[in-house]
Amino acid sequence: MSRIFITGTSQGIGLETGRTLVEMGHEVVAHARNDERARATSEALPGAHAIVTGDLSDLASTRELATRANEHGPYDVIIHNAGLGGGSGERSETADGLERIFQTNVVAPYVLTCLMPLAPRMVYLTSGLEANGRLRLDDLQWRERPWDGMQAYSDSKLHDAMLSFELAARHPEIVVNAVDPGWIQTNMGGPSAPDPLPLGAETPVWLATSDDSIATTSGQYLKRRKAQTPNPATQDATARAALVAELESITSLSLP
């Protein structure tokens, strides 16, 4: 039995991942944005070991989430699942003055990675759209460019993959991987998505629990339990270091 922390567990892939792991007999610490969502998660995931709250679009709340999550650790597995889609809306900033998609999808998992002890297995959910992502260190938050929500989302998923590859390079003693869950029928994926919800949870669950050689190999980009070729930026150590430096500047936290 493993103790597993999953962000974004109130719905979608995160909830399905949590439900599957609980059914397998593991202790799952779930995460919800606020108390209202925590109550809904408790109903949907009654077997959860604990549910902790924290708003990933708020730096102080994300720090508090790390503290609350650590109270239930240490963890055998941490799954960074939570994320915000691109949509077609206008650019918006959080109370911290950061672009919302960038803060939720990139800054938040970075903060949690910095403030929580590394688990033996770390999983970062990305997206197939990371292939279209671009690393624009001069404009990470779309302050200069005309807003493109889907490109901003694609960029954020590339950043997530780069973070996972950088952590894998720094810590060969643990297993760190990025996962493309596919285009899944969730609120984010929409009703026209071709793949059912259980398929989106399959690879994160497998990485959390399997002793297969691929599942226990670090520094991969995976989909459907198979290694894929990631965006070339993930393999650029200089680019990864530059991204981490920007995140460190924003958060005043150093990646372990």
Active site residues: 153, 157
* 179, 126 contact by CB (below 8 A): yes
Measured CA to CA, the distance from residue 33 to residue 12 in angstroms comes to 14
Our CA dihedral for 193, 81, 223, 242, rounded to 10 degrees, sits at 120
The rounded distance, in Å, linking the Cα atoms of 31 and 228 is 29
Tokens 């973070």 found at: 163
Q: What is the DSSP string of 8-26?
A: S-SSHHHHHHHHHHHHTT-
Which of 59, 40, 38 lies closest to 50 in space, CA to CA? Answer: 38
Task: Specify the DSSP class assigned to residue 49.
Answer: S
Largest CA distance in the chain: 49
143 in Cβ contact with 185 (< 8 Å): no
In whole angstroms, how large is the CA radius of gyration of the chain?
17
- The pair of structure tokens assigned to 162 is 């780069």
For residues 5 and 17, the answer to whether their CB atoms sit within 8 Å is no
Tokens of 71: 């109270």
